[in-house]
Amino acid sequence: MSMTMNEYIEEAEKDLLHTYNRFPIVFDRGEGVYLYDLDGKKYLDYVAGIGVFALGYGNKEYNDAVKAQVDKILHTSNYYYNVPAIEAAKLIKKYSGMDRVFFTNSGAEAIEGAIKTVRKYAYLKDGKTDHEIIAMEHSFHGRTMGALSITGTEKYRAPFEPGIGNIRFAKHNDIDSVKSLINDRTCAIITETIQGEGGIHPSDKAFLEELRKICDEKDILLVFDEIQCGMGRSGEMFAWQGYGVKPDVMTSAKALGCGVPVGAFMMTEKVGQNSLVAGDHGTTYGGNPLGGAAICAVFEQYEKLGVLDNVKEVSKYLYEKLDELTAKHSQIIDHRGVGFIQGLEFNCPVGDIINKALADGLVLINAGTNVIRIMPPLVIKKEHVDEMITILDKVLS
């Protein structure tokens, strides 16, 4: 006999390491842009598995492609080639304009690879190992030691210091703060194109343009973290494409696999020819046939469903409606973002608001203590915006 939702939760609290303060819900299935818990209660999903489930739930073609690959072969290791990974790399190159791809299992692992890439690039130039990376304050790049070391929020880093070292933090969108940190040991500058966990802060166009100019002048590598803001969430396949500023190295994950755990870091040919070589980096699961098949299916569905056009169109409506909500409720002090990565900043902690919305069938998460992150599947329609606004308005009233 199956257990109740509360019994499952009690079991989880006995068995799982307590590193998450989870909401007291066991999700059982999804359909379209809705989730259902074990009791059958329906929820409108405005989290998308933290930006992962871009296609929503139950996309038949995607599911069929993954199932077919399961029946064929799941894993071979990187000692051999496999067709799905080759096809997936070709598609990533097509949509990103980058030249070389390395597949990983996660975003954090993609960041680790990017760090190794920029350090090796600098090492090959002068044989030194004292190079520095400039990252941004309030950034978030992941929980592994390298990713944590370049994450610009001290509370995440403090218990685990020392990190990898030689990291300096500049202010996002403040070019003078970046310039003040540059010296002859600087090998890379990394930023999220749109800061996510740090409170939903899009980069200024002039800031990115100036970063590109500095990097070109000094042969410093520019790295964009597109793990959360990429894969169509901004309305462009990768957010930097909306700015017209191309990085030397880029990371991707989350919606790249739409549920199958995959990530990737990519680079230009120049970096590819002057950084990592055989023996420098590896992964057991990265680039396996299952991951490759998932990535191929994702790009195929983006084309078929016109995902980018949908984001561009519906996000304008979403922005208007969130602006109206901001004007109506005095506790909302700012609204910002782009595409389907938007944030509402409050004059108070947002935990209670999120809990009340959840009770009313709307799934939301925060980005910092006082920001609600609006990050739905990329296939939502205007009626789903209206449904979300109605619930959030009721909660705030």
Q: Over its length of 397 residues, how does the chain's per-residue pLDDT go in tens digits?
A: 589 999 999 999 999 999 999 999 999 999 999 999 999 999 999 999 999 999 999 999 999 999 999 999 999 999 999 999 999 999 999 999 999 999 999 999 999 999 999 999 999 999 999 999 999 999 999 999 999 999 999 999 999 999 999 999 999 999 999 999 999 999 999 999 999 999 999 999 999 999 999 999 999 999 999 999 999 999 999 999 999 999 999 999 999 999 999 999 999 999 999 999 999 999 999 999 999 999 999 999 999 999 999 999 999 999 999 999 999 999 999 999 999 999 999 999 999 999 999 999 999 999 999 999 999 999 999 999 999 999 999 999 9
- pLDDT at position 100, please? 98
Cα distance between residue 315 and residue 385, in whole Å: 9
Q: How far apart are CA 379 and CA 211, in angstroms?
A: 33
CATH number listed for the domain at residues 5-59+306-396: 3.90.1150.10
- Cβ proximity of 118 and 326 under 8 Å: no
What are the extents of the domains in the chain? 5-59+306-396, 73-305
Q: Report the relative pairing of strands 263-267 and 100-104 from DSSP bridges.
A: antiparallel
Q: How far is residue 174's CA from residue 176's CA, in Å, rounded to a whole number?
A: 6
DSSP code, position 239: G
Cβ neighbour number for residue 113 with a 10 Å cutoff? 26
Helix (H/G/I), strand (E/B), else coil: 312:
helix
- Give the strand pairing for 100-104 and 132-136: unpaired
- Give the other-Cβ count within 10 Å of 259's Cβ: 20
- Burial of 173 by CB count in 10 Å (0-12 exposed, 13-18 middle, 19+ buried)? middle
Dihedral (CA of 108, 113, 116, 119) sign: negative
| Residue of 86, 100, 88 whose CA lies nearest to 267 | 100
Phi, psi of 251 (to 5 degrees): -115, 150
| Tokens representing residue 45 in the block | 């999903």
Q: Phi/psi of residue 188, each to 5°?
A: -160, 155
| Residue 223 CB coordination number (10 Å) | 28
Tokens at 384, concatenated: 């789903």
CATH number of 73-305: 3.40.640.10
pLDDT at 1: 58
How do 362-363 and 341-346 pair as beta strands? unpaired
Is 378 within 8 Å of 372 (Cβ atoms)?
no
Radius of gyration of the chain from Cα atoms? 21
CA pair distance 71, 69, nearest whole angstrom: 5
Maximal CA-CA distance, the chain: 67
Could you tell me the pTM of the whole model? 0.97
Beta bridge partners, 225, equal 192, 251
pLDDT at 293: 98
Instruction: Give backbone dihedrals phi and psi of 31, rounded to 5 degrees, phi first.
Output: -150, 120
Instruction: Name the DSSP letter for residue 141.
Output: -
Give the pLDDT confidence score for residue 298 in this predicted structure: 98
Give the residue from 179, 170, 189, 186 showing the smallest Cα distance to 128. Answer: 186
pLDDT value for 308: 98
Q: Which residues pair with 27 in a beta bridge?
A: 37
CB-based contacts of 183, cutoff 8 Å, min separation 6 = 132
